[in-house]
Amino acid sequence: MAVYPVIMCGGSGTRLWPASRPSRPKQFVPLTGMRSSFQDTVLRVAGLADAAPPLIVAGLAHRASILAQLAELDVEGVLLLEPEGRDSAAAMAAAAAWINLRDPLGVAVVVSADHDVPDDAAFRAAVEVAVISARGGSIVTLGVRPTSPSSAYGYIRAAGGDGVSPVAAFVEKPDVATAKVYVEAGYLWNSGNFVVATAVLAEELAAHAPQTYAAAHSAVGDGKASDGVLVLGETFRTAPKISIDYAVMEKTKRAAVLPVDFAWSDVGAWDAVWAASAKTVAGNAASGAALFVESSHSLVRAPAGVQVAVIGLKDVAVVVDGDDILVCDLSHSQSVKAAVDQLKMQSKPNAFASLAEASDAYQHWLRVSALPLWWAVGADHERGGFIEALSVDGDPRPAPRRGRVQGRQVFTYGAAGELGWKGPWRQAAWHGLNYALARFQRPDGLFRSLLSAEGEVLDDGAAVYDQAFALLGMATLHRLDPGKMDLVAASNHLRHGLQSLRHGGGGFKETSDYPFQSNCHMHILEAALAWSEAGEASWDALADEIVGMAATIFIDSEGGFLREFFDETWKPAPGDDGRLVEPGHQFEWAWLLERWGHQRGDGKARVAARKLFQIGRKGIDPVRAVAINALWDDFSIRDANARLWPQTEYLKAALILGEDDDALVAANGLWKYLQTPAQGVWFDKMRPDGAFVDEPAPASSFYHIICAIAELSRHQAARS
């Protein structure tokens, strides 16, 4: 009957900005001493009698921080990593399920990683008392006797006296006046620490929150374990997002409370950090180089190399972190979160409040700025075709021309006509296609890869990827402007040529350094669907074939995510290549599979599409609100840079799947890339710090952008 310390590592601590951020929550930041509160918590629970190694429940993004801080303490623990935060009920349910599989008589001591408890011995003594009641069937929470009427905490009214007694009532965070009444009436602070037999917790969860327990239990069973780390299965995402207080404690008849007198704080704001810190005679507390002149009861935090002087002030906090600085009255510490929320809104240029507003703005940008600019400056009116790039100031940037760009621009201007642009869409689209047919197409029907700006052949090879966009452009013009040319015959000629790029083991073999890949197949599927939707049913078989490859090869059978690279037997490529997961491609395939599944009435494909969408969401940076470039196959960050095209795919997939909240996030994220000196061009790469790389706007991105705008237009039309 071991005791299992369970350390909950959720939360981002926005009231402790700028030291605490989503990427570096407060529990991993030394705030009141040399160690983080997570490390202090580990040492505190490690001294419990009969304690097993701590079980740490956290998000995937914090795996490295946890392992590094455990190593600093030379303490081993077990990690349960959540694919998505679902609040405390799901986290505790997963912990209970994990413990019950190993010790049905185990008792969990559930504590938060971000609390400050200076007296470890008093904490352990209280837990030992609570364990006795927990083994008798109670769910015991530790209720702290208040030292002041605080509006920062919830309260508990106990039914009894000093020992463990039933809970009479849980009370939400009150205002200060009500808090005074509670303190006078003997209410306790709700510390959020629990001591409970895991079998009892499982029973109560199953009774009062069955969906939560079922999802968490399944996620433990389906999780992937290695070296003391269990990544919970995807079913964890289906758990309702609810706290343990609402899910169980306010409903169960087993809730009990043990009043405790030790010092405790959830260190939820800077006034709490000041209170828990060592102070000078004048009541000042400092971390870093700080000078206090005629100042008292103040707090300063400064990084190495930064000096802060506080003169003639009282009860203030000055916190410096990188380029961010907070100055506030300590009595207003609870308002920091509101300030952070406002800063987030200010960092989003022209943030849209609705998808209708976003659609109007994108349509205006497209028709008034982008389409006229790329036809006037981005087209080579002397030699034909489209150039590769424009500067962010709107100036031409001549470079060798890729075949794929011509096909994409043909599609772009065809799509513009379909969206109602009154400009010369037909002329622009045929301008690109005629050039491609004359200069890029080989006698075998395939399109070569690269020409010089003057039209000389630089690479006569034919990439599968390039053929897909030639087909897409032709399908668009065949559907929108039939009769000018027999594009059905032209596409069939190209399709015949594609057979030479077939791989003996199935699918196509690309001509790049990665011959066996999912990406080129994705675009062939897109082209085949475009021809099917243009009325040419002979393309259905190719579309069906590629969807079949997606289901059996490209999408991982266990994880449900799409892989990029394979060996010649269509097994995942060895090494790092096989571990690459691109969020943008999860979204792009989701969009295509939803289209195909709807067209064919295939429910499995549509389920797979939603799964891919959820995988893609793992790559959304919560700070920048954009999709990053790449993850590893354990969904940790591989490349935190964020190109433009994944934002368009996020938007398209969210719209077609009816995920309107995500679509609004994506629409706002993509809009940032369009805020360039010249209207109608775009930034292509965002750095991890949110700054953009100053480089030309690639023409190839226009295809991605107009696809997203078209999907947004369809979405709005369906709701009008």
Task: Return the pLDDT at 191.
Answer: 92
Two structure tokens written together for 297: 């009861």
Which pLDDT band, with edges at 50, 70 and 90, does 341 fall under?
Answer: low
Mean pLDDT of 219-225: 91
Which candidate, 715, 606, 603, 719, places its Cα nearest to that of 662? 715
Residue 630 has pLDDT above 90, yes or no: yes
pTM: 0.56
| pLDDT over 60 at 653, yes or no | yes
Q: Which residue has the higher pLDDT, 323 or 711?
A: 711
**Cis amide linkage into residue 210, ω under 30° from 0:** no
Question: What is the C-alpha separation between 225 and 324, in angstroms, rounded?
Answer: 39
215-229, 447-461, 463-477, range with the lowest pLDDT: 215-229
Instruction: Classify 529 as helix, strand or coil.
Output: helix
Q: Could you give the CA distance from residue 462 to residue 13 in angstroms, rounded to a whole number?
A: 53
Q: Would you state the pLDDT for residue 426?
A: 96
Percent of the chain with pLDDT over 70: 98
Q: Indicate where the chain has its CATH 3.90.550.10 domain(s).
A: 3-135+193-252
Give the mean pLDDT of 452-458: 93
pLDDT value of residue 663? 97
Q: Look at residue 250 and tell me whether its pLDDT is greater than 80.
A: yes
Please name the helix (run of DSSP H) or strand (run of DSSP E) that holds residue 57, with its range, or none: strand 55-59
CB 475 within 8 A of CB 530: yes
Tell me the pLDDT tens digit for each residue of 308-321: 999 999 999 999 98
For residues 140 and 260, the answer to whether their CB atoms sit within 8 Å is no
Q: What is the pLDDT of residue 587?
A: 98
Q: CATH: 1.10.287.1080, 3.40.710.10, 1.10.1200.10, 1.50.10.10. Which one for 355-719?
A: 1.50.10.10
Sequence ranges of the chain with CATH classification 1.50.10.10: 355-719
C-alpha pair distances (Å), 622 with each of 12, 260, 582: 11, 38, 17
Residues 6+ apart with CB under 8 A from 47: 120, 124
- What pLDDT sits at residue 378? 93
- What digits encode the pLDDT tens for the residues 188-200? 999 989 999 999 9
β-bridge mates for residue 225, sequence order:
230
Superfamily of domain 3-135+193-252 in CATH is: Spore Coat Polysaccharide Biosynthesis Protein SpsA; Chain A (3.90.550.10)
pLDDT at 342 over 70: no
Which single residue is written with the structure tokens 């989503």? 22
Are 313 and 298 within 8 A, CB to CB? yes
